[in-house]
Amino acid sequence: MNTETQGKRYGNIIFMKELSNNAAQLLPFPIYRELREKTPVRYDEDRQSWDVFRYEDVHRILKDPATFSSRRGLEVRGETLLTMDQPKHTHMRNLVNKAFTPKAINDLAPRITSITNELLDQVASRGKMDIVYDLATPLPVIVIAELLGVPAKDRMLFKDWSDTMVKGVEDNTDTALAHMMAERDKAEAELVQYFLKILEERRKKPEDDLVSALLDAEIDGDKLQEQDILRFCILLLVAGNETTTNLITNATRLMTEQPAIQDQVRQQPELVKSMVEETLRYYPPIVAIGRVATQDVEIGGQLIREGQQVVSWVGAANRDPDKFDDPETFHTDRKPNAHMGFGFGIHFCLGAPLARLEAQIALEILLTRFTDIEFEKTSLTPIPSPFVFGVKSYPVTFRER
């Protein structure tokens, strides 16, 4: 396809050529490592994008939002928290923080526990399940739907909409890309219509949910606009569902690929927390974060020009030996663990406390109820997005305790 179209319109959704096959996408880390060692900062003509692989360089980029903007110059959709720069970002983040408090999240623990148990009840006697389909997908969708105040009957609609909005393409042709963009726009339009209805209902009759809290949040008499709330709700679905699905799945994948990890957390259940952190370092659900340079700037001896795209490879930085001891080994109890699986700086994941809580509870219950969790060997399919690391399905067998 023509490079201009590629870089300009789709620069952030196509795979680099080194990762263009299934095997590489199922385990990209050796390739990231090679790129980090050989070309720590390089320009990729195909994608018209810079790629940065070292921890120190990625850290520097994420720490400097004035030079590395989150604005997607080519974004067709409206701005969200994720794509705003300061000072607008600070203002918006403060407002949503008021509704998204650690207490509000921690209060969800009993619900997350019962939802997980209900999901596992359905498969317990079967002795096998698909971690993605039976547990890791429905759990975050149900939790965010409840948090937002969405009725149970509509949950699966959400899953479909939010999946479509983050979907990449398997083949880089203009037709496939255009088709995908059209599908994304349609899913977004449907979600917007849906949320407009919920907003109207909550405005008339507030409930104890996030939408009502967002309608109510204010700073110095300043409230969120309806458009801002709508986009924020959509962002939560897009940013929070598939990522959490992949975290739970990636952790399970690790426990089956390396049974010693499973044994260790069974013997020391208090390690589940740090095991989740190590999963975020070693198998991060988000492996890359995009920015645009606002001025000419040098990184790793390379001159990045104003307006150019820069992709920070968290998946590579998280295994940089200059930052982590023994980086290619999974240490269940690694400390310290300054991974960038949730990003870094002003855009650090707003949903991190929720994602951590869901993953911890899901894994704890999984390990308590079932023993001998093993991968039921089949061929795996990677999630078709260069920024995401995960698999579409992960069948396991187990024994009920």
User: Minimum distance from CB of 181 to ligand HEM (Å)?
Assistant: 20
Residue with Cβ nearer ligand HEM (172 or 349): 349
Given the complex with ligand HEM, which of 138 and 240 has the nearer CB atom? Answer: 240
Cα 61 to Cα 70, 260, 264, 297, 313: the distances in Å are: 11, 36, 36, 10, 11
Is there a contact between 78 and 226 (Cβ–Cβ < 8 Å)?
A: no
For residues 232 and 82, the answer to whether their CB atoms sit within 8 Å is no
Residues 6+ apart with CB under 8 A from 100: 210, 350, 351
Between 345 and 395, CB nearer to ligand HEM:
345
Q: In this complex, which beta carbon is closest to ligand HEM, that of residue 172 or of residue 357?
A: 357
Least separation, in Å, of the C-beta of 292 and ligand HEM? Answer: 11
Phi, psi angle pair for 145, to nearest 5°: -65, -45
Taking alpha carbons only, the member of 65, 166, 68, 96 closest to residue 386 is: 166
Residue 182 burial (10 A CB sphere; 0-12, 13-18, 19+)? exposed
- The smaller minimum CB distance to ligand HEM, of residues 104 and 181, is found at 104
| Cis-peptide into 336, omega within 30 deg | yes
> Which of residues 70 and 164 has its CB atom nearest to ligand HEM in the complex?
70
| Binding residues for ligand HEM (CB under 6 A) | 70, 81-82, 93, 144, 235-236, 239-240, 243-244, 247, 285-286, 289, 341-343, 347, 349-351, 354-355
Nearer to ligand HEM, 93 or 223 (CB): 93
Q: How far is the CB of 285 from ligand HEM (least distance, A)?
A: 4
Question: E strands along 279-369, which residues?
Answer: 288-293, 297-299, 302-304, 309-313
* Closest separation in Å from C-beta 334 to ligand HEM: 17
**Between 137 and 244, CB nearer to ligand HEM:** 244
- Bin 14: left if φ > 0, else alpha if -120 < ψ < 50, else beta: beta
Cα–Cα distance for residue pair 126/131, rounded to 1 Å: 13
CB of 81 to ligand HEM, least distance (A): 4
Closest CB to ligand HEM among residues 229, 239: 239
Between CA 336 and CA 325 the distance in angstroms is 10
- Kindly state the smallest distance separating residue 84's Cβ from ligand HEM, in Å: 7
| 327, 315 Cβ separation under 8 angstroms | no
Give the number of other CB atoms < 10 A from CB of residue 193. Answer: 10
Q: Please state, in angstroms and rounded to a whole number, the distance separating the CA atoms of residues 129 and 231.
A: 35
Minimum CB–partner distance for residue 337 and ligand HEM (Å): 14
Per this entry, what is the length of the chain? 401
Helical axes 352-369 vs 138-148, angle rounded to 10° = 130
Smallest distance, ligand HEM to C-beta of residue 198, A: 16
DSSP β-bridge partners for residue 42: 51
> Which residue's CB atom is positioned nearest to ligand HEM?
351
Least spacing, CB of residue 85 vs ligand HEM, in Å: 10
Report in angstroms how near the CB of residue 25 gets to ligand HEM at its nearest. 17
- Of the pair 22, 97, the CB lying nearest ligand HEM is at 97
